[in-house]
Amino acid sequence: GENVEQHPSTLSVQEGDSAVIKCTYSDSASNYFPWYKQELGKGPQLIIDIRSNVGEKKDQRIAVTLNKTAKHFSLHITETQPEDSAVYFCAASIPSGTYKYIFGTGTRLKVLA
Amino acid sequence: EAGVTQSPTHLIKTRGQQVTLRCSPISGHTSVYWYQQALGLGLQFLLWYDEGEERNRGNFPPRFSGRQFPNYSSELNVNALELEDSALYLCASSLALFGGINEQFFGPGTRLTVL
């Protein structure tokens, strides 16, 4: 069935280091992959996304890569800062008439000052 | 531009009661999605409304229902509440679909506690 696996579940990095979160999706029809950041007590906020016809996208310190063959996509955060601490969710959108998102289980990122 | 708004922020109910949650989408967005986020878990798709019609629902029992009004706002109703319904209920909205892409923007959620 439709599934998105996300790893790791928790990640601690020193301020200034890089963080990488990886996701794998099961449905090859997925064509849109957003990443959300959720801070405590708030709703998820879209931070970056990538479409299936693109291999990589970058926005300042954040980048996302997509490997359609392997059905993998990853979030890269460089020069991490304490305010990057949050839970990050990946998702895959399936356009097969449902247009729903399948979310990963989340990664709790802690940036240590 | 105002984002997605949800009300109430918090809600406490007892088992067997009924609850209604409300969502106002971003202006111009016609689609509304509801998700359930149980504590420590990911987001589970509940319902999708577009142009006043229910387009799809997730693997939830019929006591989870909702509707979308002509102004595109939406309600989520949960009947016969159970303890495991305690969760953060998130609403998201998007523009009409273009090529199968629908960027969803989330509201802050309603925290429901069932005692």
Helix (H, G, I), strand (E, B) or coil at B14: coil
Minimal CA separation from A100 to chain B, in Å: 7
Residue B5 CA to residue B23 CA, distance in Å, equals: 6
Considering only alpha carbons, which residue of chain B is nearest residue A40? Answer: B108
Token pair of B46, please?
């509940």
Query: Cβ of A95 and B4 within 8 Å?
Result: no
Query: B65-109: per-residue pLDDT in tens?
Result: 999 999 999 999 999 999 999 999 999 999 866 556 778 899 999
Geometric angle at alpha carbon B98, from A29 and B3, rounded to 5°? 110
Task: Determine whether B11 is exposed, middle or buried from the number of CB atoms within 10 Å of its CB (0-12, 13-18, 19+).
Answer: middle
Q: pLDDT tens, position by position, for chain A (113 residues)? A: 678 999 999 999 999 999 999 999 998 888 899 999 999 888 999 999 999 888 999 999 999 999 999 999 999 999 999 999 999 999 998 776 666 788 999 999 999 98
Amino acid, single-letter form, for residue B68: Q
Query: Cβ of B102 and A93 within 8 Å?
Result: yes
pLDDT > 90 in chain B, percent: 77
Measured over the CA atoms of residue B22, residue B24, residue B30 and residue B32, the dihedral's sign is negative
A-to-B residue pairs, Cβ atoms closer than 8 angstroms:
65
A99 to each of A34, B6, B10, how far by Cα in Å?
13, 22, 29
